[in-house]
Structure 1
Amino acid sequence: MDKTLEIECLTNLAEGDHRSYELLFLAYHPKVYHFLYGFIKNEEEAYDMAQEIFYKVWVNRKTMGEIKSFKAYLFTMARHMIYNYYEHTLVKEKYTLSRLAQSETYEPEQDMFAKDLALLIDLVVSQMPEQRQRIFKMSRKEGFSSDEIASRLNIHKRTVENHISKALSDLRKALQYISFLFF
């Protein structure tokens, strides 16, 4: 867009002329978009940012008549948007890292609770019939599949699944009872 037409469009835009806005948008939106995309390498984000820049142009249209170089104005806005984008990304990354660090902090209460829970599970399992104990341990502690357990014990796969289901049901009942007593 030549300088004379640009100044005329900016003056008309300041008076609320939609057609002038459209001309400026069509002339500069692709350039702003490509500038933004060159830095952030995210098409959707670059497009949204370019849209936001032109939205701000429309909202602040009354001041557009004072601008001497619309291109410089747009690219200054784009540069600030890029700074904000990276600043926001940095804040998100710091937050994510802090959340990860918090989740990895050692808490003795959690460790104690996990040990107590493991003891409770072992106690409940030890009260189960021998075949159910064996199948449950092979499944949950040794990591065998139902097919592997059935093959090793020479029983039907469905029998293995029934034993595991009953074992888990016994554990649920015990955990419900314990949680009722303590919580």
Structure 2
Amino acid sequence: MEINREAEYMEKLGQGDHKSFDALFVLYHPRVKNFLLGFIKDEEEACDMAQDIFFKVWTNRESISKVASLKAYLYRMARNMVYDYFEHNLVKESYEQKLQSSSNDYSDLIEEDFYARELSILIDIAIEQMPEQRRRIFKMSRKDGLSNEEISQKLEINKRTVENHITQALADLREILKNTSLLLF
């Protein structure tokens, strides 16, 4: 299109002339679309983006009618739209990765909580199956937080006996947990 005719269309565009807009659209839309397509490789998306650019041209027709080169202006708009497109996609991908990661973390936490509860139940069952003296000493040590010395004084038994009971209780628990770990995990 010759420069004088484009200038005439631009002037009439600023006045709201639809025919001038249509002529500029027919001339530049395919070029802008192909420019966009070269970057984003999605024809439908490129077409939508080109439509958005020309919608902005029509919406801002009064100010755009005063630009020196519509072609340069359109390509600058298209370039900025490509930047926005890729920036938006990066943000979207980052969000999706975080969402997926937090979803996996949440699932892992639920599963870990389930296994922890199951393990706690198994330990309680194993403790209840211990001989009475061993069970009492182990509960005083682990659940009540008493030291071996305090337990020996309360039960009026030797401290070494308390240590032996706790050692044997822990060995019993290890054996039971070793056999049941295959069921849990």
The TM-score range, normalised by the shorter chain, is 0.5 to 0.7
Deviations 1:22-79 (A, max 9, x none): 0000000000000000000011110000000000000011113311100000000000
| 2:48 is equivalent to residue 43 of structure 1 | no
The 5 A counterparts of 1:99-178 are 99-105=99-105, 107-113=108-114
Q: How many residues align?
A: 120
Superposition RMSD on alpha carbons, in Å? Answer: 2.4
2:21 aligns with: 21
Q: Is the 8 A contact 1:11 1:64 kept in 2?
A: no
Inter-partner Cα distance in structure 1 for 2:3 and 2:60:
20
Inter-partner Cα distance in structure 1 for 2:39 and 2:110:
47
Distance 1:109 1:50, change over 3 A: closer
Distance 1:17 1:93, change over 3 A: same
Higher-Rg member (1/2): 2
Distance 1:14 1:52, change over 3 A: same
* Misfit runs of 4+, over 4 Å: 106-109, 114-117
SS at match of 1:104: helix
Q: CA shift at 1:97, angstroms? A: 1.0
Inter-partner Cα distance in structure 1 for 2:25 and 2:46:
15
Q: CA shift at 1:87, angstroms? A: 0.3
Deviations 1:82-125 (A, max 9, x none): 000000000011011111221232754432326768xxxxxxxx
Q: TM-score, normalised by structure 2?
A: 0.59
Q: TM-score, normalised by structure 1?
A: 0.60
Inter-partner Cα distance in structure 1 for 2:26 and 2:45:
19
Q: What runs of 5+ residues in structure 2 fail to find an aligned partner?
A: 119-185
AA paired with 1:24?
A: L
1:74 aligns with: 74
SS at match of 1:67: coil
